[in-house]
Amino acid sequence: MMQNKILLVDDEPAFRELASRWLANQNYHVKTASSLEEARETIAHFDADLVLLDLSMPPHFDPQVTLDSMSDFEGRPVIIITGHADRDLALKAVELGAWDFIAKPIDPGMLAVVVRRAITKTTLERELNQLKKSTQQAQGAASYIGHSASSHKIRALIERIAPTNVRVLVTGPSGTGKEVISRTLHDLSHRATKPFVSVHCGAIPADLLESELFGYVKGAFTGAEKDKVGLLSLADGGTLFLDEIGEMPLAMQVKLLRVLQEGTFFPVGGREQKHIDIRVVSATNADLLGKVQEGSFREDLYYRIKGVNIETQSLSERLEDVPVLLQAFLHRLQSQQSKNLQLSSEALQWFRDQTWPGNVRELKNALESVASICPQGRISMEDIQLLYPSVDRISNTQLISDSSMSEATLDQQVRELEIRLIHHALDKSQSNRTQAAKQLGISRQGLIKKIERYGL
Ligand SMILES: Nc1ncnc2c1ncn2[C@@H]1O[C@H](COP(=O)(O)OP(=O)(O)OP(=O)(O)O)[C@@H](O)[C@H]1O
Any domain includes 442: yes
Domain boundary pick from 128, 162, 190: 128
262-285: average pLDDT: 92
CB 147 less than 6 A from any atom of ligand 1: no
Does 190 lie in the same domain as 68? no
CB 360 less than 6 A from any atom of ligand 1: yes
Rounded CA separation 278/102 (Å): 35
Q: What is the largest CA-CA distance in the chain?
A: 107
CATH of the domain at 343: 1.10.8.60
Does 278 lie in the same domain as 156? yes
Do residues 174 and 361 make contact, with C-beta atoms less than 8 angstroms apart? yes
| pLDDT confidence band for 408 (50 / 70 / 90) | low
Atom of ligand 1 nearest to the CA of 176: 21
Complex ipTM over 0.95: yes
341-345: average pLDDT: 89
Closest Cα to atom 16, ligand 1: which residue? 177
Does 251 lie in the same domain as 293? yes
Does 374 lie in the same domain as 289? no
- For 61-75, 292-306, 340-354, which range has the lowest pLDDT when averaged over its residues? 61-75
Rounded CA separation 306/327 (Å): 33
Domain boundary pick from 263, 293, 313: 313
Q: Is pLDDT above 70 for 409?
A: no
Domain count, the chain: 4
Question: Residue 239 C-alpha to ligand 1 middle, in angstroms?
Answer: 18
Does 228 lie in the same domain as 95? no
In Å, what is the CA distance from 394 to each residue of 379, 399, 400, 402?
17, 7, 10, 11
* Residues whose CB is less than 8 angstroms from the CB of residue 154 and which lie 6 or more positions away in sequence, other chains included: 141, 144, 146, 181, 310, 312
Rounded CA separation 17/41 (Å): 20
**Among 25, 26, 68, 70, residue whose Cα is nearest residue 52:** 70
Residue 117, helix vs strand vs coil = helix
Rounded CA separation 311/204 (Å): 25
88-96: average pLDDT: 85
Does 249 lie in the same domain as 165? yes
Q: Concatenated DSSP letters for 301-361?
A: HHHHHHBEEEE---GGG-GGGHHHHHHHHHHHHHHHHTS--EE-HHHHHHHHH---TTHHH
Does 275 lie in the same domain as 187? yes
Residue 401, helix vs strand vs coil = coil
Rounded CA separation 216/213 (Å): 9
pLDDT at 174: 94
Percentage of residues in the chain with pLDDT exceeding 90?
A: 54
Does 375 lie in the same domain as 299? no
Any domain includes 138: no
Rounded CA separation 285/185 (Å): 19
Q: What share of the chain is helix, strand, coil (3-state, %, to 5)?
A: 55, 15, 35
CA atoms in the 13 A half-sphere facing the CB of 336: 9
Beta-carbon count within 10 A of 365 CB: 13
Positive or negative, the Cα torsion across 383, 388, 390, 391? negative
Does 258 lie in the same domain as 271? yes
CATH of the domain at 445: 1.10.10
The helix (H) or strand (E) run that includes residue 253 is helix 250-262
CB 175 less than 6 A from any atom of ligand 1: yes
2/333: higher pLDDT: 333
Rounded CA separation 171/178 (Å): 7
Does 356 lie in the same domain as 268? no
pLDDT at 411: 67
Do residues 16 and 32 make contact, with C-beta atoms less than 8 angstroms apart? yes
CB 246 less than 6 A from any atom of ligand 1: no
State the residue range of the domain holding 408: 396-453
* Residues whose CB is less than 8 angstroms from the CB of residue 233 and which lie 6 or more positions away in sequence, other chains included: 215, 274, 276
CB 146 less than 6 A from any atom of ligand 1: yes
Rounded CA separation 243/65 (Å): 36
Any domain includes 142: no
CB 285 less than 6 A from any atom of ligand 1: yes
- For 35-49, 259-273, 429-443, which range has the lowest pLDDT when averaged over its residues? 429-443
Tell me the per-residue pLDDT of 285-301, one tens digit each, with 9 for 90 and over.
999 999 999 999 999 99
State the Cα angle at 201 between 197 and 206, rounded to 5°.
Answer: 125
83-93: average pLDDT: 80
Q: Is pLDDT above 90 for 197?
A: yes
- For 25-34, 70-79, 312-321, which range has the lowest pLDDT when averaged over its residues? 70-79
373/139: higher pLDDT: 373
CB 176 less than 6 A from any atom of ligand 1: yes
Alpha helices by DSSP H, listed for 78-205, are 87-95, 108-139, 149-161, 178-187
**Among 5, 29, 8, 27, residue whose Cα is nearest residue 17:** 8
Rounded CA separation 212/206 (Å): 10
Does 289 lie in the same domain as 162? yes
Domain boundary pick from 387, 405, 429: 387
Question: Residue 66 C-alpha to ligand 1 middle, in angstroms?
Answer: 44
pLDDT at 154: 97
pLDDT at 397: 39
| pLDDT confidence band for 405 (50 / 70 / 90) | very low
Question: Residue 240 C-alpha to ligand 1 middle, in angstroms?
Answer: 18
Do residues 165 and 323 make contact, with C-beta atoms less than 8 angstroms apart? no
Rounded CA separation 355/357 (Å): 6
Rounded CA separation 18/34 (Å): 14
**Among 290, 221, 208, 300, residue whose Cα is nearest residue 252:** 208
Rounded CA separation 313/175 (Å): 10
410-434: average pLDDT: 79
Residue 208, amino acid: L
CATH of the domain at 294: 3.40.50.300
